[in-house]
Amino acid sequence: MSARSKARKRALDMLFQADVRHESITAIVGAEARRAAGEPDREASWLYAREIVDGVTDHRDEIDELIMSYAQGWTLERMPNVDRALLRLAAWEILFNDEVPTAVAIDEAVELAKEYSTEDSSRFVNGVLGRIADHAQA
C-alpha cells in the first residue's frame, strides 16, 4: 500500500472519529500527531493525512454544499458516517489538490467504501464524486 493510500485511510479515520464522537477535529488531529511522533516510519503517511484533514476542515462548507447538490435524494445526515467522510476526503482531493489525478481520488475513495462501508456505498460514492469531478472540470 502506498504512503498516500495509507494517508487516506488515516484521514478517513480522523474525519470519521470526529463525526461519530462529536469531538473537535483539532483534538483528534492532536491525538494522532502524538501517536505519529512515536512511529517515525509512518511520517510520510501522517503528513499527507494531516494535509487532507486540514484541507477538508478549511473547505468544509464548500465541499458539503457540493456533496448535497450531487447526492440526489440524500442529506448529509442521512448518509452513513463513513460515506460522508469519504466524500469529503475525496472531494477535497478533486477540488483542491492538483497533485492527485481525479481518477485516483475517486478510485481510492471507492476502494475504501468497499472495505469500510455498506454494500451499496461504493456505487454511491463513485456517482457523487463523478458529478463533483464534472463540476470541477466545468
CA 93 to chain centre: 8
For residue 24, what is its C-alpha cell?
A: 473537535
* Containing structural domain, residue 122: 3-137
Rounded (to 5) percent helix, strand, coil in the chain: 80, 0, 20
Average confidence (pLDDT) per 10 residues, the chain, 138 residues? 90 96 93 84 85 97 97 92 97 97 97 95 97 94
Q: Residue 20 class from Cβ within 10 Å (0-12 exposed, 13-18 middle, 19+ buried)?
A: exposed
We report the CATH number of the domain holding residue 49 as: 1.10.940.10
Per-residue pLDDT, 42: 75
The pLDDT tens digits of the residues spanning 87-97 come to 999 999 999 99
Of 32, 26, 21, 31, the C-alpha closest to 56 is 26
Report how far residue 120's alpha carbon sits from residue 130's, in angstroms, rounded to the nearest whole number.
16
Domain count, the chain: 1
Per-residue pLDDT, 26: 93
- Residue 93 half-sphere exposure toward CB, CA atoms < 13 A: 28
- Whether the Cβ atoms of residue 114 and residue 91 lie closer than 8 Å to each other: no
